[in-house]
């Protein structure tokens, strides 16, 4: 592959003297930050650093109008990926052509909106910006349309020229505007652009329209009526190939040659000698290249010249012959001194059927990857990249799609589109998505859930875990315990769930009430994530049972929390205190056995606590001692009642 030596662009950074200082930098999402610094350790203070500059690469994605282009082309892209591989290629072609047309109509719609904005805006710089974007899109559409004709539709001889004519007409639409001016003027025939309009129509092969305009002149010159009639006849009779008709290409060719000879005869006869305008038209019809080149102004581009030239000299041109006519047309049309513009080279490469060169030149010439990525993808689906013996064809597609999607990912909302592009890059799409998606800022719970869903759908377990962990950590930092707990359950982070459960219990001890009851009441099997969480859930269940006056169940649960060692021992005192009101009930709730077990728990606790805590105050200890005594008393009384009750035979 030929290396095009493209010089890197230099971006000036204001207020930094690169001769004296270094330029420090850091990569950001979608930008790069630079600042003045000195890396050599000098020890001498060099004054302050007033600025850090944010350097951006591509501002296209920040344009609200272009955003529509990205959004709508994304739909088309996704649809294209769904085109069944196993369809015979003959059936697929119309589908691909229609997809190509959809892409182009999105470009057109976008272009029109930009155009309107350019006209309506008051801001001059904005107007220029819109104008520039329009001209880029115009060029993009022009290239895309040509690629559609040549590569995707791949029209055969005959139809090929018809498509090329449509292409030229679409992109040289100013004729119609001019015609309107002329026809709406007071005396159209006197209008200075009158003959320009007639000739422009002829150059585009729009004979009916040319005749209509010519009629105005004919009506004013009764003397020359015969001459006008003759030209009108030639224009009417010009054969146009009809691909859907029964006529074969050879038949058409014969017919066309007859017509051509007839035109030529008129020229030889000097039939139009008295009217130079009509003579010029006749010379165009006969395909006189010098006369065509005299109308460079009206043709405006070499490829218009090419198509006009083919129309009047080679209407049955074959795709394989195009490159020859294209090259010679370009050389004939362009000044020998002038260097072809990038657009010229791209169009020429297309006529030469050098798809790869087209993509390459477009990548260099255009400021964003939108065009090359989508066009290459479509050509890839048409199996055109392989047939041109580019063994790296599929990599090229993926390379461009990855670049485009990575660009989208730097945008706060367009990143969601990028996900689908990554999904359709078999080699590196997944890794790119993993790297990019975990850096999407999780500003809100809603956004986090959106990112999470994308990761979950793709079984990106590590990213799922990480996002939940980050959210849990953030929620805890802001003291939103419930949210922290549910995120850590989602992250299956046992250590963190333990920590948060601990906090819940602390809060309960401090305030005597639980927050986030909904969450804790509905933990379900998630409760088993950590021991402390299990305890939290069960302990809350005890409170619920107690609240619902299911005292027997509540008592059973409370006891089991201690005997099954679900409750941390540090919490036993609280649990025993919770048992007090149950012990004080009129009804006997704890059985004798259960009371024994409670007593055992209390003893276990107090025996370990026998050593006085060094940091506990006298007052604290007094309270503690009183509590234990009250408990012992209550337990003993309950035991007595229970024994009496259990020893009594009901009658």
Residues in 407-436 that interact with another protein by CB under 8 A? 428, 430-432, 435-436
| CB of 430 or CB of 627, closer to another protein | 430
Task: List Cβ neighbours of 169 (8 Å cut-off, separation of 6 or more).
Answer: 204, 206
| CB of 428 or CB of 551, closer to another protein | 428
| CB of 296 or CB of 469, closer to another protein | 469
The size of the chain, in residues, is: 651
Q: Which of 322, 366, 536, 567 binds another protein (CB under 8 A)?
A: 366
Is there binding between residue 2 and another protein (CB under 8 A)?
yes
Query: Whose CA is closest to 170, among 131, 119, 204?
Result: 204
Distances (CA, A) of 264 to 257, 260, 308, 492: 10, 6, 17, 87
Is there binding between residue 402 and another protein (CB under 8 A)?
yes
Query: Whose CA is closest to 543, among 565, 571, 512, 506?
Result: 512
178, 181, 183, 188 alpha-carbon torsion, rounded to 10°: -100
Is there binding between residue 558 and another protein (CB under 8 A)?
no
Query: Whose CA is closest to 589, among 560, 559, 555?
Result: 555
Distances (CA, A) of 297 to 200, 211, 301: 10, 21, 8
- Within residues 432-461, the interface with another protein by CB under 8 A covers 432, 435-436, 438-443
Query: Whose CA is closest to 439, among 477, 474, 410?
Result: 410
Task: Quote the CA–CA distance of 66 and 50 in Å, as a whole number.
Answer: 35
Is there binding between residue 384 and another protein (CB under 8 A)?
no
- Within residues 471-510, the interface with another protein by CB under 8 A covers 473-474, 477-479, 495-496, 499
Q: Which residues of 505-538 are buried (b: 16+ CB within 10 A; e: fewer)?
A: bebbeeeeebebeebbeebeebbebbbbbbbbbb
Is there binding between residue 353 and another protein (CB under 8 A)?
no
| CB of 264 or CB of 438, closer to another protein | 438
Beta pairing partners, 36: 23
Residues 396/359, Cβ–Cβ less than 8 Å:
yes
Residues 456/426, Cβ–Cβ less than 8 Å:
no
- Within residues 56-85, the interface with another protein by CB under 8 A covers 56-57, 59
Compute the least distance from the CB of residue 503 to another protein, in Å.
Answer: 11
Compute the least distance from the CB of residue 333 to another protein, in Å.
Answer: 15
| CB of 515 or CB of 563, closer to another protein | 515
- Within residues 141-200, the interface with another protein by CB under 8 A covers none
Is there binding between residue 29 and another protein (CB under 8 A)?
yes
- Within residues 271-310, the interface with another protein by CB under 8 A covers none
Binding-site size for another protein (CB under 8 A) equals 105
Query: Whose CA is closest to 138, among 118, 160, 161?
Result: 118
Q: Which of 87, 273, 364, 636 binds another protein (CB under 8 A)?
A: 364
Distances (CA, A) of 215 to 185, 220, 221, 306, 545: 16, 9, 10, 28, 99
Residue 35 backbone dihedrals phi, psi, to 5 degrees: -155, 155
Compute the least distance from the CB of residue 82 to another protein, in Å.
Answer: 25
Compute the least distance from the CB of residue 417 to another protein, in Å.
Answer: 17
Compute the least distance from the CB of residue 240 to another protein, in Å.
Answer: 31
Interface map 110-139 toward another protein (x if CB under 8 A): ---------------xx-xx--xx-xx--x
Is there binding between residue 26 and another protein (CB under 8 A)?
yes
Compute the least distance from the CB of residue 6 to another protein, in Å.
Answer: 5
| CB of 498 or CB of 594, closer to another protein | 498
Compute the least distance from the CB of residue 151 to another protein, in Å.
Answer: 19
| CB of 321 or CB of 434, closer to another protein | 434
Compute the least distance from the CB of residue 367 to another protein, in Å.
Answer: 4
DSSP 153: S
Compute the least distance from the CB of residue 393 to another protein, in Å.
Answer: 10
Compute the least distance from the CB of residue 202 to another protein, in Å.
Answer: 26
Task: Quote the CA–CA distance of 181 and 185 in Å, as a whole number.
Answer: 6
598, HSE (Cβ side, Cα atoms, 13 Å)? 32
| CB of 266 or CB of 440, closer to another protein | 440
Task: Quote the CA–CA distance of 214 and 278 in Å, as a whole number.
Answer: 10
Is there binding between residue 53 and another protein (CB under 8 A)?
yes
Mutual orientation of helices 393-409 and 355-365 as an angle, nearest 10°?
20
Is residue 123 left, alpha or beta, with left meaning phi > 0 and alpha meaning psi from -120 to 50? beta
- Segment interacting with another protein, rule: CB under 8 A, options 291-299, 326-334, 392-400, 622-630: 392-400
Compute the least distance from the CB of residue 140 to another protein, in Å.
Answer: 8
Task: Quote the CA–CA distance of 571 and 569 in Å, as a whole number.
Answer: 5
Give the count of beta carbons closer than 10 Å to the beta carbon of residue 87: 11
Compute the least distance from the CB of residue 464 to another protein, in Å.
Answer: 13
DSSP 2: P
| CB of 29 or CB of 94, closer to another protein | 29
Q: Which of 210, 396, 418, 602 binds another protein (CB under 8 A)?
A: 396
| CB of 4 or CB of 636, closer to another protein | 4
Query: Whose CA is closest to 98, among 120, 83, 114, 113?
Result: 83
Is there binding between residue 338 and another protein (CB under 8 A)?
no
- Within residues 31-50, the interface with another protein by CB under 8 A covers 31-39, 45-50
Q: Which of 147, 175, 355, 365 binds another protein (CB under 8 A)?
A: 365
| CB of 4 or CB of 640, closer to another protein | 4
Beta-strand pair 31-37/22-27? antiparallel
- Within residues 577-616, the interface with another protein by CB under 8 A covers none
| CB of 127 or CB of 224, closer to another protein | 127
């Amino acid at each position: 592959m030929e290396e095009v030596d493209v010089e890197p662009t230099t971006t000036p950074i204001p207020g930094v003297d690169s001769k004296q200082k270094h330029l420090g930098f850091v990569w950001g999402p979608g930008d790069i930050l630079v600042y003045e610094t000195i890396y050599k350790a000098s020890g001498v203070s060099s004054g302050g650093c007033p600025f850090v500059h944010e350097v951006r690469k591509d501002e296209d994605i920040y344009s609200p109008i272009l955003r529509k282009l990205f959004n709508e082309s994304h739909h088309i892209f996704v649809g294209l990926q769904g085109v069944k591989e196993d369809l015979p290629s003959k059936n697929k072609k119309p589908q691909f052509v229609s997809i190509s047309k959809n892409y182009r109509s999105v470009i057109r719609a976008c272009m029109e909106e930009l155009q309107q904005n350019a006209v309506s805006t008051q801001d001059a710089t904005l107007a220029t910006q819109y104008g520039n974007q329009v001209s880029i899109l115009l060029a993009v559409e022009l290239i895309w349309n040509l690629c559609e004709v040549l590569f995707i539709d791949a029209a055969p001889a005959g139809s090929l020229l018809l498509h090329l004519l449509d292409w030229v007409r679409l992109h040289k639409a100013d004729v119609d505007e001019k015609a309107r001016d002329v026809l709406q003027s007071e005396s159209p025939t006197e209008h200075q652009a009158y003959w320009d309009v007639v000739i422009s129509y002829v150059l585009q092969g729009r004979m009916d329209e040319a005749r209509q305009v010519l009629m105005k002149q004919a009506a004013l010159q009764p003397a020359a009526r015969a001459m006008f009639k003759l030209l009108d006849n030639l224009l009417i009779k010009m054969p146009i190939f009809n691909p859907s008709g029964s006529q074969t290409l050879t038949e058409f060719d014969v017919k066309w040659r007859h017509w051509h000879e007839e035109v030529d005869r008129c020229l030889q006869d000097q039939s139009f000698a008295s009217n130079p305008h009509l003579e010029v038209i006749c010379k165009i019809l006969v395909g006189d290249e010098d006369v065509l080149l005299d109308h460079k102004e009206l043709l405006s581009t070499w490829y218009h010249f090419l198509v006009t030239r083919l129309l009047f000299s080679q209407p049955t041109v074959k795709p394989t012959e195009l490159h020859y006519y294209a090259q010679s047309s370009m050389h004939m049309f362009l000044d020998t001194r002038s260097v072809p513009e990038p657009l010229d080279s791209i169009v020429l490469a297309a006529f030469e059927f050098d798809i790869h060169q087209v993509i390459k030149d477009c990548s260099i010439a255009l400021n964003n990857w939108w065009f090359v990525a989508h066009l290459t993808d479509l050509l890839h689906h048409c199996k055109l990249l392989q047939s041109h013996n580019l063994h790296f064809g599929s990599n090229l597609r993926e390379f461009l799609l990855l670049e485009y999607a990575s660009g989208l990912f730097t945008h706060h909302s367009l990143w969601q589109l990028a996900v689908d592009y990554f999904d359709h890059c078999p080699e590196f799409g997944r890794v790119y998505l993993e790297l990019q998606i975990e850096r999407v800022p999780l500003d809100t719970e809603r956004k986090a859930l959106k990112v999470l869903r994308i990761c979950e759908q793709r079984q990106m377990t590590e990213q799922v875990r990480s996002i939940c962990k980050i959210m849990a950590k953030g929620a805890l930092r802001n003291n939103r315990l419930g949210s922290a707990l549910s995120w850590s359950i989602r992250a299956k982070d046992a250590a963190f769930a333990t920590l948060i459960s601990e906090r819940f219990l602390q809060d309960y001890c401090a305030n005597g009430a639980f927050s986030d009851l909904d969450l804790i009441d509905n933990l379900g099997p998630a409760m088993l994530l950590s021991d402390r969480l299990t305890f939290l859930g069960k302990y809350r269940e005890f409170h619920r049972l107690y609240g619902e006056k299911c005292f027997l169940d509540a008592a059973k649960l409370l006891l089991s929390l201690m005997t099954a060692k679900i409750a941390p021992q540090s919490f036993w005192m609280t649990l025993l205190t919770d048992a007090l009101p149950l012990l004080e009930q009129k009804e006997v709730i704890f059985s004798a056995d259960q009371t024994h077990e409670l007593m055992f728990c209390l003893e276990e606790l107090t025996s370990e606590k026998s050593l006085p805590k060094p940091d506990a105050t006298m007052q604290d200890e007094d309270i503690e001692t009183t509590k234990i005594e009250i408990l012992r008393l209550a337990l003993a009384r309950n035991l007595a009642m229970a024994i009496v009750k259990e020893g009594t035979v009901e009658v």
